Chain A
Amino acid sequence: MRTYLEFEQPIAELEGRIADLKQMDGVNVSEEVQKLQAKADQLLADTYARLTRWQKTQVARHAARPHFSDYVKYLVEDFTPLAGDRRFGEDAAILGGPARFRGRSIMLIGHEKGSDTASRVKHNFGMASPEGYRKAMRLMDMAERFHLPVVALVDTPGAYPGRGAEERGQAEAIASCTEKCLSLGAPLVSTIVGEGGSGGAVALAAANKVLMLEHAVYSVISPEGCASILWKDAAGKGESKAPEAAEAMKVAAQDLLELGVIDAIVPEPLGGAHRDIPLTVERLGDAVETAIHELEGMSPDELRAHRRRKFLEIGRAGLA
């Protein structure tokens, strides 16, 4: 059973009719099915070619979008999940561990949002606490020690704004994790695979190469949050003005490539990553492999200098 987004309703209707027709036994409907399928495909292509930034936000948050567990399944082999920050606890909003990626040993780190109610609660909807960032730092240290490239997958609404998180130094954890990314003596390739929510995302994305899936979004604040502050749309929890906020903030991968904030966009299957997860992961794998290949010859100091140059350049050139 496929989950459709609101703007996909016309596609849902067509695909529903096709499914119904296919159910009918004994009647020759293949011609009709073919015609409808062509129409549905065209509609899907047209819709996805013209997604607004708010629609992209919804695609990026799609319940069936590939999550960390899918990348573990299709992207790597011999993954050993590691737990705990060795200081306070384990935070399942950020997962990671060493793995084999197309023959290479790597350290895989990323947010996990969960895919049903129980797992969403377990992973806190991908909203990490200080322990998550501190675990990520621990894993990055280990990667550096063993000369493993780090592959980070970012998918979070943001860092968890909870009481305990604040008490245990959420701000310090994010700041230090960002610094760890920047000072890492191993190649670091980060991909925004779904939502890149603010500081909680950047803490894993101060990387040598920053990639984004085609319909992923990356922003300083959620469109709802921005709307509730700037459009004083607190009553509607920012929802009514969120589409405008998403447009104004330019949250799409295509915007970020133009602004020089990311290095490349990984194309998604037609209709979004959730329509073909293995294909999405394979394409991501190709892009990550290319990125790692470009970085592999660099010394730890060269990698640090590369990151520093890259981030200092952002916003300095090419904007008018």
Chain B
Amino acid sequence: MSWLSNLTPPGIKNMFKRQDSGDSLWVKCGGCGEMIFRRDLEASLQVCPSCNHHMKISVAERLKHLFDGGIYETIALPEPVMDPLRFRDEKKYVDRLKENRKKTGRNDAMEVAAGSIEGLPVIVAVQDFDFMGGSMGMALGEALIKAAEEAVARRRPLVVFTASGGARMQEGILSLMQMPRTTIAVEMLREARLPYVVVHAHPTTGGVTASFAMLGDVHFAEPGALIGFAGPRVIEQTIRETLPEGFQRAEFLLEKGMIDQVVHRKDMRQALSRLLRVLTKTGAVATPARPAIEMERPKAAGGGERAAPVPLDKAAE
């Protein structure tokens, strides 16, 4: 691009500049390195048209694509205490929170929405990796509990899209406590016999994987998503060897029996709809009773009637 930008007069350059953001017009694919026109990438749901590499998709884009007509209702989430430990490392946690709120326009790392997928009403929760790496603190725990409660109250399935580096260290033990707390959310769905589907997006690791993300009735994953408990770097340091290509990727987890399907982003709506319609018996019709089939029975001695049971003490004779 540089030679082109140097040659193009400023007026022409501005014509190509996007008005809504400072982002460039072209995006380099993290998979194959190809330059992709940003608008093409948006049309393909942030999936590289040449190599199918799934890039990060914003929460808003995901929800818009997922729901019928791009229409959904945002569920208001509880706001727990901010910075319960008054944590500071090289920066104050409250300042980090403020920055991330400004950057993402949301309060914390999860959004919960209600809408329909191919006519089927569902509750959907999406983790926002852009908000402190999608890390799980009290707000996320409360958000997932709220999502489960909404699903139970409205008798709808819950679909959760995960993307997280794990626990939010700045909330210390209270972030760890979200592992059992989000597990309780899953249990609420189980008791209400409502389907709970987890879609693992890149990356899903740490305490999130080791709690609600691995407890779905069904696990879908996006191609190439990194899914695991420990991060690859930690494992490599522990075992002092390099991990093979594809380790902890969605396809690897499929092979190891931890997820049910690797689903391309463009097929997700259909895959979810097909699954959830069957699980919720939506559109199921009772077929008229078939005429009874004459079953062949072993003929007992003395005619077609069933033989009288032989008393046990006589049976041995």
User: Which residues of chain A have a CB within 8 Å of any CB of chain B?
Assistant: 159-163, 165-172, 174-176, 178-179, 181-183, 198-199, 202-203, 206, 218-221, 226, 229-232, 244-245, 248-251, 255-256, 259, 261, 308, 311-312, 314-316, 319-320
Contacts and interface: CB of A to CB of B under 8 A. Distances in A.
Contacts of A259: 84, 173-174
13 contacts: A161-B230, A163-B239, A166-B228, A174-B211, A179-B186, A198-B176, A198-B207, A202-B180, A206-B183, A251-B172, A255-B173, A261-B173, A320-B81
Contact of A175 (B167, B184, B214, B257): B214
A312 B256 contact: no
A219 B88 contact: no
A166 B235 contact: yes
Contacts of A167: 256
Interface in B240-289: 243, 247-248, 256-258
Contact of A179 (B89, B183, B248, B257): B183
Given A174-B210, A308-B184, A311-B180, A179 B215 contact: yes
- What 9 A-B pairs have minimum CB-CB distances, sorted nearest first? A161-B230, A171-B209, A230-B89, A171-B229, A174-B210, A206-B180, A220-B176, A249-B172, A170-B229
Contacts of B212: 175
Given A170-B230, A178-B211, A198-B167, 9 more contacts: A168-B256, A171-B213, A171-B258, A202-B177, A203-B210, A220-B167, A226-B169, A250-B173, A311-B180
Contacts of A183: 187
Contacts of B248: 166
B53 interface: no
Main secondary structure of the interface of A (DSSP, over half): helix
Contacts of A176: 214-215
B25 interface: no
Contact of B167 (A174, A182, A221): A221
B301 to A, nearest CB: 45
Given A161-B229, A162-B239, A182 B184 contact: yes
Contact of B169 (A166, A174, A249, A319): A249
B176 A315 contact: no
Contacts of B90: 230-232
Given A179-B215, A251-B172, A169 B256 contact: yes
A252 B177 CA distance: 15
Given A231-B89, A315-B80, A171 B256 contact: no
Interface string B175-219: 111011101101100000000000000000011011111110000
B181 A250 contact: no
B26 interface: no
Contacts of B184: 182, 308, 311-312
B87 interface: yes
B208 to A, nearest CB: 9
A270 to B, nearest CB: 26
Given A166-B228, A166-B235, A248-B87, A199 B210 contact: yes
Nearest to B81: A319
A182 B80 CA distance: 23
Q: Number of contact residues on B: which range applies?
A: 35 or more
Contacts of A221: 167, 169
A229 B169 contact: yes
B138 A248 contact: no
Contacts of A320: 81
B158 to A, nearest CB: 16
B234 interface: yes
B99 to A, nearest CB: 15
B24 interface: no
A129 B213 CA distance: 19
Nearest to B185: A312
B270 to A, nearest CB: 26
Interface centre among A175, A179, A219 (most CB of B within 10 A): A175
A218 B180 contact: no
Contact of A202 (B176, B215, B229): B176
B81 A315 contact: yes
A131 to B, nearest CB: 14
Contacts of A206: 179-180, 183
A226 B234 CA distance: 13
A166 B81 CA distance: 34
A218 B173 contact: yes
B235 to A, nearest CB: 5
Contacts of B257: 169
B235 A162 contact: yes
Given A171-B210, A219-B173, A249-B173, A178 B180 contact: yes
B35 interface: no
B177 A261 contact: yes
Contacts of A319: 81, 84
B235 A311 contact: no
B88 A248 contact: yes
A251 B209 contact: no
B56 to A, nearest CB: 21
B145 interface: yes
Contacts of A178: 179-180, 183, 210-211
Contacts of B239: 162-163
Interface centre among A221, A232, A255, A261 (most CB of B within 10 A): A221
A84 B50 CA distance: 48
